[in-house]
Amino acid sequence: MRAMSARSSTSFGVILSFLFVGCGGAASEPRETTPAREVAEIRPRLVRVSDADTTVYLFGTVHLLEPSTAWMNDEISGALSSSRAVYFEVPTEPEALAPHMPLLQSLALNPPGVTLSSLLPPDARSRAEAAATASNVPFAQLEPMRPWLAAITLSMTRLVARGADPEAGVDRVIAARAREAGQEVRYLEDIPTQLHAIGDLPTDVQVELFVQSLDDIEESDAHFDEMVSAWQRGDTRHLEHELVDEMRTEAPALYDSMLVRRNRAWVEVLTTLMANEPGTFFVAAGAAHFVGPDAVQVGLAQHGLTVQ
């Protein structure tokens, strides 16, 4: 992994909120409320992919949001209502995760005798303690964690403390609506696949990501607001620049593991679906998967499907 810039323009926590559905597991605590942001037009991007008898709508989501954030419109509602089945990344219910707890622990916790602070560069330990204090997380709670989980814990706790809520995340709202309507719910991948995508990153890569998360916490919260506003108005160029361009150049291992390989696997799932099942389907997954040169719809177009 290349060394990441000292002050990256986009927060690691923000990237994960547009990318990794596991980030929605951050525990909700008493939090500040912020005024609803004014957006001229609520039009998150909805991509339509079709062949002769099948239509698939691709909707990029944010996995945690402030409850006041507006995003549903007639276009999204109509596409969702017309769909036979709705696809998400992975199941997020506690009962679905329970069988995979041994795997999660093996990927998320350090081996005996290893602590987070023992893996950090000398100058990062004091910064990590300060970041934990700022996020109201006891540093001792982070010590058993591998750097990727510690980074998510700090970043997500920060976002939750300033008003974001996993329960207001787009995926959870859509899932509740789909189940209420009696629609079939399907998944693009399984929980082990998603856990391995981040948990198998080399330790030095994880350490760099953790150090980057410290930079994020020391900076303004404005990035999250900017990114959500861009998502609300469908500004995919801004999302691509902030979510994909920088990750490709400064964190290529993360980009390959969390985006490229997973997107390719999802393309296979969806091309198989479209070859075998007529009708309309809806896909709700992190917005980072639907921007940039390796976006899911780019792969689907390469299979000869019509993308609008």
Could you give the number of structural domains in the chain? 1
For residue 235, being part of any structural domain is answered with: yes
Written as six digits, the tokens of 46 are 């909805």
Written as six digits, the tokens of 184 are 């079939």
Average pLDDT, the chain: 87
For residue 3, being part of any structural domain is answered with: no
215: number of Cβ within 10 Å: 17
Per-residue pLDDT tens digits for 58-92: 999 998 899 999 999 999 999 999 999 999 999 98
For residue 33, being part of any structural domain is answered with: no
For residue 304, being part of any structural domain is answered with: no
pTM more than 0.75:
yes
290: DSSP letter: G
For residue 70, being part of any structural domain is answered with: yes
User: Which of 34-43, 114-123, 146-155, 231-240 is predicted with the least confidence, judged by mean pLDDT?
Assistant: 34-43
159: number of Cβ within 10 Å: 27
Task: Kindly report the backbone phi and psi dihedral angles of residue 60, in degrees, each rounded to the nearest multiple of 5, phi listed first.
Answer: -80, 130
Provide the residue range defining the domain that includes 168. 12-26+40-289
Per-residue pLDDT tens digits for 30-51: 344 444 455 567 999 999 999 9
For residue 296, being part of any structural domain is answered with: no
Amino acid at 136: N
For residue 300, being part of any structural domain is answered with: no
